[in-house]
Structure 1
Amino acid sequence: MAFVEPVTLSAPGIALVPLALAHEDGLRQAAADGELWNLRVTSVPEPDQTRTYIESALKMREEGHRFAFAVTEAASGTVLGTTSFHDILPAVRRVEIGYTWYARRCQRTHVNTTCKLLMLTHAFETLGCATVGWRTDNFNFASQRAIERLGAKKDGVIRGHAMRRDGTVRDTVMYSLSAGEWPEVKAQLRYLLDRPRTARE
């Protein structure tokens, strides 16, 4: 299926490569930058769960539901984080972007904007998607702001939707972007990346 066929997406300085078991150590080190597994509203794996996290992503790829990338520094291959296409629905040409997290040093830099430009370009211009969606915890305000900065529209909130790692039940905020909205969003993302780095995000 085209949605989960191996593909590497590249831009100056950044390469999104298919997530593999070979990325285990790099992914563990990225999560350690900020001890991201302690964040209540994310699903970053604890150090000893990194391999299981990757194995789960690979299983979901085999099932056609998710395609996970390792976000890497192009020159060195250093793993900066991970992101995925998920909840893939070929019949209606829809994917969601999620399972996204980066080492603390990469947060609020050009990295996320670059990744989203690469993934949205692939989704709309290669896969021919009609809609790209996002979902996030109702208390993950940083994620909501990041999604809204992309130009995505808030579709609504699903109450009592998923379990958090601490055992509480979260509400999920849903967003989407349509193919018709993509040209303007693409222009905005390129504008953001063309600005001096100190002014980005």
Structure 2
Amino acid sequence: MIKAGPVTLEFNGLRLEPLAPHHEDGLRAAASDGELWNLRVTSVPEPHNALQYITTALEMRDRVAFAVIDASTGAVLGTTSYHDILPLVDRVEIGYTWYAKRVQRSHVNTSCKLLLLSHAFDTLGCGVVGLRTDCENFASQAAIEKLGAKKDGVIRHQALRRDGTVRDTVMYSILREEWPAIKRGLHERLERHARV
């Protein structure tokens, strides 16, 4: 049975450390980079709500939230989490992920997913890792599919958006037996990115 808990993970110039109140200023700056809270299909907090965002994440019983840190500068680049942790079936999901606009389409997301997936499968012994996104968040769907995750389906009328509308949620997963090939693919993608 998996036991997902706070841990610090490092790879490729990034550090994922347990999200804490001292990340407030950095999270506020990351959210401000691109005014990401204006996107209705994300969970990015308004800058003045960064501390409440952290508090909410820490109060959730089935969520382990991380600050995404540039290891060389200490700058907060965004956040990501394990959530909907189901120890009895060895399942976690990766989500609540967002990054400052300046690091989007860089190595950051691929590196973070490699860290979290490696920890989930290789350390925690997960049988499956799930990912989900808003049915209207086409960029997120493309990124998840690019990872190699399989689309499980759509849960209709599943979650409330910040604007009060109700979203359909697209569900994806990666099974343990699919992980070795996906891991190789993520390493190859990072190697190509480094050569550019």
The TM-score, its normalising length taken from structure 2, stands at 0.97
Uncovered stretches (5+) of structure 2, i.e. residues with no partner: none
Q: In structure 1, what is the Cα distance between the partners aligned to 2:194 and 2:30?
A: 22
Q: Tell me the equivalent position of 1:165.
A: 162
Q: Tell me the equivalent position of 2:146.
A: 149
Q: CA deviation digits over 1:78-114, x for unaligned, max 9?
A: 0000000000000100000000000000101100000
Q: Is 1:34 matched with 2:34?
A: yes
Contact 2:107-2:193 within 8 A present in 1 as well:
no
Contact 1:132-1:176 within 8 A present in 2 as well:
yes
SS at match of 2:53: helix
Give the number of aligned pairs: 195
Q: Tell me the equivalent position of 2:87.
A: 90
Contact 1:109-1:197 within 8 A present in 2 as well:
no
Q: Tell me the equivalent position of 2:25.
A: 25
Q: Tell me the equivalent position of 1:191.
A: 188
Q: Is 1:7 matched with 2:1?
A: no
Q: In structure 1, what is the Cα distance between the partners aligned to 2:149 and 2:174?
A: 5
Q: In structure 2, what is the Cα distance between the partners aligned to 1:178 and 1:7?
A: 22
Q: In structure 2, what is the Cα distance between the partners aligned to 1:198 and 1:11?
A: 17
Q: In structure 1, what is the Cα distance between the partners aligned to 2:102 and 2:168?
A: 28
- Deviation above 4 Å: which 4+ runs of structure 1? none
SS at match of 1:40: coil
Q: Tell me the equivalent position of 2:50.
A: 50
1:117 to 111, 114, 118: 114
Q: In structure 2, what is the Cα distance between the partners aligned to 1:197 and 1:126?
A: 26
SS at match of 1:3: coil
Contact 1:16-1:71 within 8 A present in 2 as well:
yes
SS at match of 2:15: strand
Give 1:59-138 correspondences, 5 Å limit: 59-60=59-60, 63=61, 65-138=62-135
Instruction: Say what the alpha-carbon RMSD is for the aligned residues.
Output: 1.1
CA 1:198–1:108 in structure 2 vs 1: closer, same or farther (change >3 Å)?
farther
Distance apart, 1:195 and its partner CA: 1.2
Distance apart, 1:198 and its partner CA: 6.9
SS at match of 1:124: helix
Q: In structure 2, what is the Cα distance between the partners aligned to 1:120 and 1:165?
A: 28
The TM-score, its normalising length taken from structure 1, stands at 0.95
